[in-house]
Chains A and B, each alone.
Chain A
Amino acid sequence: MKKNLTRIVLTVFLIILSLYFLYPTYADYQLNKELKGKTGQDSIDFVDKNGEKLKNVRDKRIKLGLDLKGGMYVVLDVDIVKLLEDLSKKKDAALTDVLNATKEATKNNDDLIFETFKKKLQDKGLSLKSYYGEIRDDEKDVDKKLRDEIDGALDRAVEIVRNRIDQYGVAEPQIQKIGGSRIIVELPGVSNQEEVRKLLQGTALLQFKLVKDPQSAFKVMEAINNILVGNKDTTNVKDSLKISTLNKIDSTKNKTSITSADSTKSKNETAGKNKKDSTKVADKKVTDKKKDSKDSTKTKKDTTKTKKDSALTKVDTNTTPIDSTKELSDEERKAKFPFFTLVNLNQQSGTADGYVREADKDKVDRILAREDVKSIIPSDMTFAWGNKTIDSPEGKIYTLYAIKKDAELTGKVITNARANIDPTNNTPVVNMEMNSEGAADWSRITGSNIGKRIAIVLDNAVFSAPVVRGKISGGNSQIEGMGNIQEAKLLEIVLKAGALPAPVKIIEERSIGPSLGEDSIKAGIFSSLAALILVALFMVIYYRVGGTVADLALLINVLFILGIMASLKATLTVPGIAGLILTLGMAVDTNVLIFERIREELLTGKPLKTALEVGYKKAFSAIFDSHVTSIITGLILYQFGTGPIQGFALTLLFGLIANLFTAIVITHFIFDIMIEKGKDPSFG
């Protein structure tokens, strides 16, 4: 009994655990059913009210594959031939020939493009050096440099694609790097192929745009707020608001200590900047002989780090820029300052950057898209989201920037960018170089905007908005203030995207309409149930009580499979459902083997209890061996299959593992208990 007690406790625990993991899936289904019943404004309100909950359960539910949910699956290949063409310093007929031949030779196979290219070049008696290096460069170095460029292009392509998809607003996109040159993109619920193709394949646009000065940005936000409140006495509200807000800004100045601490720090840094600059310049001279970096000045990034902290405090205390916050209840504040409840400002930062909770981002987008709102935003200004989010106890926080619509400069002038660690203070920095044409513009732009911020914008997302500390002539700039080296690396990739496009082409594209997915779900549920009932009936008829117990184990098995899938956030696909159905048939096999053995032992005249023990014991080796062989093929299938097929392999694998427990352990102790209670189970 004691042995059984542990087993019972374990079984009950696992069942509860599975149910716990499956609850979000159920809740998600219920919420969405409710949501489906609503239309128009009702549904928006419902999402607004239950946003948090919806998001929570969605994160934890069993994911449905694209074939069930509808959506697009795209495989992108970095166009290495194109990249080699872009990278070459001289473009002559010989190179074009080699490139075309490479393209042709690698069209239908998996040969490495770069190797093929190199070989074809050598066959013609040409060297990499003559196209990609300087005269005194070593061929090997050029080779390595090119390989690095190819690797870098993939990273860049991934970042560009990720950035665009983030802005496109797809729920739960999947972006994966595969092998040396491939990106797999999964976009659930997306059906506009033309748009997605453009989104993924277009050339990235990197721009430098001035951030609007806080005063005028704030005025626009106020006006938006007034529109939201209602237009009736705009002027009055506006005036009172203006006064009170400004008052508040002054009075709260020393409240958030982190900001002020950081701002003193940055002041100190600025103070000592000149000295550092000279050392930097010296360093540069060594590393980069060609460029005259005498005037290299640095831009001091208005540290995201600083903002990050202040945003936290801001959101925590739920302050808005509005004076009367303290006296107003939440309700009143929401009524009076709807926009600033969503878009939190931080006066200490001295900027008009808005901090928006993830759950509110859609609402802000909707407000900004309103015609009446659009009409009051000045024609030279636009709002853009920051690419990064800040983690806070309230979830992710997005940053909303008010920037100038027209770009000061495009990223095409950038010749190089590199993330480094500044040896003087061990902080990450990014060095950026421009060509002479760009450097001239850059010098003018920075010179006339000292103390202002310039946003680095890639495809409409702000990646960084450093403050210009001084005029930068010579084209070499340094951006500092990144939180860590990863941030710096990302900025390097983004800046390089301006310098060197990462051409990609779609080599596989699958799109599944939503109705097909629904049909598949229906067919899946129906055939699962039909198979379950047929198999269960057979077991009861053939093995009587034993069969009934096996059926119970079968149900628990299904519960476990789904529970494991939910806990591992695995994806259910159409073949995955097939795997589940197949598992139903295979799961009872374990019990068939055991029961047949028990019958055999009973025939030799053993008492039931002994026959049961011997049956379980002797059947085990065959069960174990057959499970292992199936697991071997399951693993290989998972390794070699793509998307949907992997889903099949997963359900099959989970089923096999769960089955070892349900069919052997659970049924065994149930029989034990029956015998103990004097109810001898029959095996037909």
Chain B
Amino acid sequence: MRLFQHTNIDFLGKRKKFYVLSIAIIVIGLAILFTKGIPLGIDFQGGTEIQLKFANDINVGDLRHTMDDSGFPGMEIKTMGSDKDILLRTPMQEEGTSVSDKIQTSVKAKFAGNNFTVQRIDKVGPKIGAELRKNAMYAVVLSLIGIFVYLAFRFQFVYAFGAIIALIHDVLITLAVVAIIDFLIPSIRLEFNQQMLAAFLTLVGFSVNDTVIIFDRIRENIKIHKNEDIEAIMNHSVNATLSRTIITSGTVFLTILVLFLFGGEVNRAFSFVFGVGIITGTYSSVFVASAIVVDYKHRIMDKLASKPKLAR
């Protein structure tokens, strides 16, 4: 079986249009992000989160009233999958007397007939939250630097530059898409937690793969066709590697889809972010990474061409 055989699409000729598309998505996404913000998970903001499994369905409205009356006004209460699985969250996490114990006691008192088991309790202090936020930033920046250095060493500086721009693009687009989706479909319950950070980092490591595949081919073709125009070589290389770029991303996307559907609540945010990342990563390998290299090389050519004039 063969897909995408003998394609001859002028990808790079259309690059300006895609620049506009990418920038538009990023701008909209970041606008939402900065005005509304993605909810931070308690990993990053601190607080107490408790997940209960009730024997019978429970009315979230009643539960909310109970919490309002028990000294937790405006507590975040969500169902997880069914009306038996409830997640309660509060930014409170006072020392000593535990918030989670208080919550449990009041739930027990109010819903005496409906027994529950505690599935999970997370309590994160504000200090830890701040630290994790800082570490998250470090981790993303460090991995970008690591990849940049490696690619600069294996390819030319231009390629490393193109790949890094593409990666930053992927991170921003994914962030933007997460913000947009969270804005449009809040019920999907996306929030920035450690799992999501892991997704972003894995995404950085993975989405550069497609770029490497294309660059590898360009590297090879430049040696063979020394006199051809760089844009033509690149277009040719992108077309030649198109099927593997799509299939390799496709197999990973397949597994991520399974994870998203059946991997349980914990892996949902991770698989969603990574899934979006795979698509943008593949897209950016062609329309960003390669395109930036072309533009960069053109600019150098122009400069080289204009320099003798100046000298004269």
A622 with B213: CB separation less than 8 A = yes
A593 with B252: CB separation less than 8 A = no
The yes or no answer to A511 lying at the interface (CB within 8 A) is: yes
Report how many residues on chain A are interfacial, defined by Cβ distance under 8 Å.
77
The yes or no answer to A541 lying at the interface (CB within 8 A) is: yes
B147 with A515: CB separation less than 8 A = no
Which one, B98, B101, B202, B264, contacts A519 given CB within 8 A?
B264
The yes or no answer to B131 lying at the interface (CB within 8 A) is: yes
Interface bracket on B: 35 or more
Known: A530-B258, A531-B254, A596-B243. A629 touches B127 (CB 8 A): no
Interface centre among A110, A510, A535, A589 (most CB of B within 10 A): A589
**Chain B min CB distance to A504 (Å):** 11
Question: Complex formed: what's the CA distance from A75 to B271 in Å?
Answer: 28
**Chain B min CB distance to A105 (Å):** 12
Contact partners of A506 in chain B: CB under 8 A:
95, 123, 125
The yes or no answer to A329 lying at the interface (CB within 8 A) is: no
The yes or no answer to B232 lying at the interface (CB within 8 A) is: no
The yes or no answer to B19 lying at the interface (CB within 8 A) is: no
Contact partners of A523 in chain B: CB under 8 A:
262-264
Known: A110-B130, A507-B128. A582 touches B256 (CB 8 A): yes
Question: Complex formed: what's the CA distance from A581 to B257 in Å?
Answer: 11
Contact partners of B212 in chain A: CB under 8 A:
622, 625-626, 629
The yes or no answer to A39 lying at the interface (CB within 8 A) is: no
| Closest residue on chain A to residue B146 by CB atoms | A632
| Closest residue on chain A to residue B126 by CB atoms | A108
**Chain B min CB distance to A191 (Å):** 8
A589 with B51: CB separation less than 8 A = no
How many interface contacts (CB-CB < 8 Å) are there between A and B?
A: 221
Contact partners of A515 in chain B: CB under 8 A:
53, 117, 119
The yes or no answer to A516 lying at the interface (CB within 8 A) is: yes
Contact partners of A641 in chain B: CB under 8 A:
139, 194, 197-198
Which one, B143, B266, B274, contacts A636 given CB within 8 A?
B143
Which one, A508, A542, A630, contacts B124 given CB within 8 A?
A508
Contact partners of A589 in chain B: CB under 8 A:
209, 247-248, 251-252
**B228-260 CB contacts (< 8 Å) to partner A:** 240-241, 243-244, 247-248, 250-256, 258-259
**Chain A min CB distance to B270 (Å):** 6
The yes or no answer to A41 lying at the interface (CB within 8 A) is: no
Contact partners of A640 in chain B: CB under 8 A:
135-136, 138-139, 142
The yes or no answer to A173 lying at the interface (CB within 8 A) is: no
A592 with B263: CB separation less than 8 A = no
B127 with A632: CB separation less than 8 A = no
B244 with A581: CB separation less than 8 A = no
The yes or no answer to B12 lying at the interface (CB within 8 A) is: no
B125 with A507: CB separation less than 8 A = yes
Contact partners of A581 in chain B: CB under 8 A:
255, 258-259, 263
The yes or no answer to A67 lying at the interface (CB within 8 A) is: yes
Contact with A along B184-226 (1 / 0, CB 8 A): 0000000000110110011011101100110011001000000
| Closest residue on chain B to residue A588 by CB atoms | B251
Question: Complex formed: what's the CA distance from A509 to B217 in Å?
Answer: 50
The yes or no answer to A1 lying at the interface (CB within 8 A) is: no
Interface centre among B146, B151, B253, B262 (most CB of A within 10 A): B262
The yes or no answer to B66 lying at the interface (CB within 8 A) is: no
Which one, A197, A575, A625, contacts B267 given CB within 8 A?
A575
B258 with A527: CB separation less than 8 A = yes
Question: Complex formed: what's the CA distance from A633 to B274 in Å?
Answer: 14
A510 with B263: CB separation less than 8 A = no
Contact partners of B220 in chain A: CB under 8 A:
618
Question: Complex formed: what's the CA distance from A38 to B189 in Å?
Answer: 42
Inter-chain pairs besides A510-B121, A515-B119, 6 sampled, C-beta below 8 Å: A513-B118, A519-B264, A575-B266, A582-B259, A684-B1, A684-B2
A residues in contact (CB < 8 Å) with B: 67, 75, 77, 106-110, 191, 193-194, 197, 505-513, 515-516, 519-520, 523-524, 526-527, 530-531, 534-535, 538-539, 541-542, 574-575, 577-578, 581-582, 584-586, 588-589, 592-593, 596, 599-600, 618, 621-622, 625-626, 628-634, 636-637, 639-642, 644-645, 648-649, 652, 684
Could you name 7 residue pairs across A and B whose Cβ atoms are closer than 8 Å? Answer: A197-B98, A507-B128, A574-B264, A585-B252, A592-B247, A633-B146, A645-B195
Q: Which 10 A-B pairs have the closest CB atoms?
A: A633-B205, A585-B255, A507-B125, A585-B252, A622-B216, A523-B264, A626-B209, A640-B139, A589-B248, A630-B205
